[in-house]
Amino acid sequence: MSLLVVGSIALDTVETPFGRHADILGGSATFFSVSASLFTKPRLVGVVGSDFPPEHIKALRKRKIDTAGIEYADGQTFRWNGRYTGDMNSAETLSVHLNVFGNFDPKVPDKFRDSSLVFLANGSTSIQMKVLSQVPKAKFIMVDTMNLWIETEREKLIELIKKANGLILNNHEAAMLTGKHNLIAAAKEILAYGLDVLVIKKGEHGAMLFDRKGNFFAIPAFPLDNVKDPTGAGDSFAGGFMGYLDKAGNTDFNTMKKALVYGTMTASFAVEDFSLNRLLKATTVQLKTRAEKFKKMFTL
């Protein structure tokens, strides 16, 4: 199979109880592709400005990520400035400058058009929608989103969900999208839009997997007492999930269950340090070791 991700590449300024770091590498497609690179050779489509440090591109290439889909536009790279306090379960956005991402018109390179697995990482629904016609061979398209697009592009988002196979969102977004507080009821409603698969991420509380046949699987999070920066946890989760599916070569429910475990693993690496610092150092041996340890934590 072959895995394509389309999404943001950003320079973040992040403040947590563990420090403040300015202009560090971030972005939904970045976290996704580095996580997926532990399983496969992901293809990345995104846009950066003229200020984007070339060493970041090098770091991505070193992870066997195909960066042929990165467009270099005039202007500044997308910048996000956020702060986490307390339980660090949600970020307070201090500022957002879309910059070159604001005019992003995703162009899937010819050599990426045969991608069978496609991840539409967090970004405006309009941008996500533009990718659909450029991936004619896609067998499994998964969509991510966030509160902003649920609020501002709800109708378009539901239209996109209907065209996708899978949706991944967090528990707050599931409640917001459906108006239902009960997560199981919310999941049923979302699946009824016409999805094959739904993943609900719950941060420190783990993740749930639903399919349209009524299958259900849920696991806890990997226990960590050293969460330094939750930025990118969800994108990293998705990257591990889709990366594993690509490596496994199929998308049946049993494979998805294992993919949920690997998504949990890549997310757990992501939050152990700022930016992609920990993820970029993660090895497949570390991944397997942690996965074996993790599986025992919910095996009777």
d(CA 143, CA 164): 7
- Tell me whether residue 129 or residue 199 sits nearer to a copy of itself (CB atom): 199
- Tell me whether residue 73 or residue 183 sits nearer to a copy of itself (CB atom): 183
As measured in angstroms, the least distance from the Cβ of 239 to a copy of itself is 20
As measured in angstroms, the least distance from the Cβ of 298 to a copy of itself is 5
As measured in angstroms, the least distance from the Cβ of 170 to a copy of itself is 12
Using CB under 8 A as the criterion, which residues of the chain lie in contact with a copy of itself when the complex forms? Answer: 86-88, 175, 181-185, 188, 202, 204-206, 208, 216-220, 223-225, 227, 257-258, 261, 295, 297-300
- Tell me whether residue 146 or residue 217 sits nearer to a copy of itself (CB atom): 217
Report residue 268 as tokens.
């757990």
Identify whether the C-beta of residue 120 lies closer than 8 Å to the C-beta of residue 112. Answer: no
As measured in angstroms, the least distance from the Cβ of 225 to a copy of itself is 4
As measured in angstroms, the least distance from the Cβ of 268 to a copy of itself is 11
Q: Minimal CA–CA distance to 144: which of 228, 241, 15?
A: 241
d(CA 197, CA 219): 16
Report residue 234 as tokens.
């969800």
Q: Is the dihedral of CA 107, 108, 110, 113 positive or negative?
A: negative
DSSP 195-213: -SEEEEE-GGG-EEEEETT
Q: Minimal CA–CA distance to 35: which of 281, 230, 266, 221?
A: 266
- Tell me whether residue 163 or residue 295 sits nearer to a copy of itself (CB atom): 295
Identify whether the C-beta of residue 45 lies closer than 8 Å to the C-beta of residue 72. Answer: no
- Tell me whether residue 32 or residue 84 sits nearer to a copy of itself (CB atom): 84
